[in-house]
Structure 1
């Protein structure tokens, strides 16, 4: 009896380590295959998660998903994935660059707000149709407002990191449509995290207006402290330790700060990823070259190892076999509405600004990529108890389809150059997932 608990703990740890190895190897194989199909590697990595879950591996005899990832090991996998997710969001916030927006500020704001407004409105409309079939999660009734706002948020997302990778692969970074898409997606990302923070507060308050107001006051106070107190302190710390070349200590302190900021927002009642993002956002960007070499590069390497675990945790929740006929109709509706919202929402301001039809089409396709950002929001919704398993599966498949369709449908660089002279923009430094 004395040795039973340690033995069980060692067994769980062994399964955890073996599971992570399976995740990494599967992700590398499918990620490389995705690149051969003119897709960003994240498509293959997300697919790897689905393959290792009940939708594919679960079809084979022997209940393989539960053998490879036993039930008592999955919480450990989820914890590892959350560590990777917090660090990723820290880097996303840190590498948000105003210089990407400045050359296209007016038009980018119009494209971003147009695509978000239409997509959000259509998402809320679809929520009204789907809510009667997904209003209960794990035996708990979900308020329509929370479900509708989440659906609107999920439809509004554009994945900045994935979009940057697509532009780089298609050599479109220095063309006008590429710079405009990056600027618009950067604005989209910030608004998406703010919407997610609102949904988190709404669910945490559970319909209590006074509690929601309290969360709002604490959130405003938290943001003020980050900008007025934490930002100046970080600036002094970074310059002092950079001069002393204390890079290892700086990396550790910044990671600890990201985790503490994520903890703070969790305690307030908004999602942890918002805290990680804002901590990165207030971090100084200079000295840029030294920080990129000694801090960002190690963080990117950590992300290469930990983020695939997030994908497999997501894939384990995707079960295509659990969908019925009505769910597949809902899937088609969700994909059509998601594409319509982004394509039309981006097209109107783009055409009014004088972009060609080819550029307008490509801009809409780029703004329609949801990728990893969508998965983060979907997992947050599951954690908050807003989505049931069937709706989660539908939304993950929508994220894959809308991201995968961009690369093959984009105009070639030569066609865009023939339509309009290139407009040079700075190369983004964001994560290349």
Structure 2
């Protein structure tokens, strides 16, 4: 068999195995009350050196040879870009309106506390992770990146947990959606700055990247968004065969533009979703957004496997284990604790405040996206990347059992948090 054909066939076999294992783990974790993303992340880790690599024969290298991984990476990037596009489509600015008059303290705390603790954590562990692939990581970029990673909330996972726990109409649930949307929007902006700092050469290069980013935003908001709205109004059922293809082309073109600007492809996909017309029940949603979302969900297990191949828990030394525990504690204290305490100080009861803190502490897939950016940009060592992935798993995994305990009264019957006066999402 020719070598090029061997690479293609091996990649196809690896994808098939990924789909089967990912589905099995998803079903298993759903049965124990965990979101699907936990099962998919765990499946990826198990197929990598952390679990499968412990068996004789170096199975990860046999199943996913080094020559094949770039091809898997391309498939994973397609799924990731579609995922980020759908996040942008689902982001509703109205979620933020009227929410922060009396809850500004909670919002500031949900960002400031984890970011400050992240800066302190960066100062403590920088000496162990200041060199990546032979290159020294500047402390400013490392610290800012880690503070952003600590402040993130997984909006998609959060929304699903709120739906599963029937918290849509409660004050804690609705407030969590608004706060998470604001947190993530600001966090993505800050991450774009970190990426620009990393890719730019000197102050002039950084300013050039920021200037082109501003031009890109102007084009997207003032030219692309009106054009998409006009096209959506003219959409007819007979356009179905190519509507999704053209939207997908727009996703990739926008991602291509931001990648060349120097702020990573995921921001282009996210921004293209942000400027898409909001037509939940319209033709655009049925003919384009639903197919793209479906393709993204199908391909995301490949992203988890590519991530899992980069996670090596066996590389964690005794000091690395201590750092991992510290990272998890800082993440929980900063997000869960910071939100819960500030919510209590603004008048919420302890139960509602704790529910809000637990919801905001979920990081899930969004954190994994951010961590993969850091790894690809050379900001994270394999050891730190592995520890941060564990943190994302733990902070997301503890949400369901804690919420189940909080939302039951002493007789064991479900008990929802109090309903507030906030407008429905």
Q: Report the TM-score, using the length of structure 2 for normalisation.
A: 0.95
Question: 1:106 and 1:23, CA in 2 relative to 1: closer, same or farther beyond 3 A?
Answer: farther
The answer as to 2:233 corresponding to 1:239 is yes
Question: 1:246 and 1:426, CA in 2 relative to 1: closer, same or farther beyond 3 A?
Answer: farther
- Pairing 1:27-426 to 2, within 5 Å after superposition: 27-102=22-97, 104-107=99-102, 109-206=104-201, 208-241=202-235, 243=236, 245-286=238-279, 288-410=281-403, 411=405, 413=407, 415=409, 420-421=418-419, 426=424
- Structure 1 residue runs of 5 or longer lacking an equivalent are 428-433
CA contact (8 A) 2:243 2:287 kept: no
Q: How many residues align?
A: 420
Give distance in 1, aligned partners of 2:417 and 2:207.
Answer: 51
Give distance in 2, aligned partners of 1:109 and 1:288.
Answer: 33
* Residue aligned with 2:319, SS: helix
* Residue aligned with 1:420, SS: coil
- Structure 2 residue runs of 5 or longer lacking an equivalent are none
CA contact (8 A) 2:99 2:422 kept: no
Deviation for aligned residue 1:231: 0.7
CA contact (8 A) 2:113 2:335 kept: yes
The answer as to 2:12 corresponding to 1:14 is no
CA contact (8 A) 1:20 1:309 kept: yes
Q: Deviations over 1:84-136 (max 9, x none)?
A: 11111011001101233335343555433311111111111111111111111
Q: Report the TM-score, using the length of structure 1 for normalisation.
A: 0.93
CA contact (8 A) 1:108 1:184 kept: no
CA contact (8 A) 1:172 1:413 kept: no
Question: 1:290 and 1:103, CA in 2 relative to 1: closer, same or farther beyond 3 A?
Answer: farther
Q: Which residue is equivalent to 1:431? A: none
Give distance in 1, aligned partners of 2:319 and 2:217.
Answer: 43
Give distance in 2, aligned partners of 1:400 and 1:254.
Answer: 32
Extract structure 1 runs of 4+ deviating beyond 6 A. Answer: none
* Residue aligned with 1:246, SS: helix
Question: 1:423 and 1:412, CA in 2 relative to 1: closer, same or farther beyond 3 A?
Answer: farther
* Residue aligned with 1:102, SS: coil
Give distance in 1, aligned partners of 2:144 and 2:3.
Answer: 43
Give distance in 1, aligned partners of 2:206 and 2:149.
Answer: 21
Give distance in 2, aligned partners of 1:417 and 1:290.
Answer: 39
* Residue aligned with 1:250, SS: helix
Give distance in 2, aligned partners of 1:359 and 1:86.
Answer: 35
* Residue aligned with 1:104, SS: coil
Question: 1:419 and 1:15, CA in 2 relative to 1: closer, same or farther beyond 3 A?
Answer: closer
Give distance in 2, aligned partners of 1:12 and 1:109.
Answer: 54
CA contact (8 A) 1:58 1:64 kept: yes
CA contact (8 A) 1:365 1:406 kept: yes
Give distance in 1, aligned partners of 2:149 and 2:292.
Answer: 27
CA contact (8 A) 2:351 2:406 kept: no
Give distance in 2, aligned partners of 1:385 and 1:230.
Answer: 33
* Residue aligned with 1:172, SS: coil
